[in-house]
Amino acid sequence: MGLLTEAAAAAAGGGGGASAARSAAGPPPTPLALAPTSPGCASAMASSEEAGPNGGAAEAGEEREAAGKRRRLGFLATTWLTFYNIAMTAGWLVLAIAMTRFYMEKGTHRGLYKSIQKTLRFFQTFALFEIVHCLIGIVPTSVLVTGVQVSSRIFMVWLITHSIKPIQNEESVVLFLVAWTVTEITRYCFYTFSLLNHLPYFIKWARYNFFIILYPVGVAGELLTIYAALPYVKKSGLFSLRLPNKYNVSFDYYYCLLIIMASYIPLFPQLYFHMLRQRRKVLHGEVMVEKDD
Catalytic residues: 215, 222
What DSSP state is assigned to residue 196? T
CB atoms inside a 10 Å sphere around CB 62: 20
Cα(265)–Cα(263) distance, integer angstroms: 5
Cis peptide before 244 (omega within 30 of 0): yes
Backbone angles phi, psi at 59, to 5 degrees: -70, 160
Backbone angles phi, psi at 287, to 5 degrees: -90, 120
Cα distances (angstroms) measured from residue 52 to each of 20, 67, 82, 140: 9, 14, 15, 8
Q: Angle, nearest 10°, between helix axes 211-236 and 171-195? A: 130
CA angle (87 as vertex; 83, 93 as ends), nearest 5: 150
CB of 18 within 8 A of CB of 49? no
Question: How would DSSP label each residue in 105-149?
Answer: HHSSSTTHHHHHHHHHHHHHHHTTHHHHHHHHTSS-S-HHHHHHH
**Which residues, including other chains, have CB under 8 Å from residue 238's CB and lie 6 or more apart?**
163, 164, 232, 253
242: nearest Cα among 230, 256, 252, 255: 252
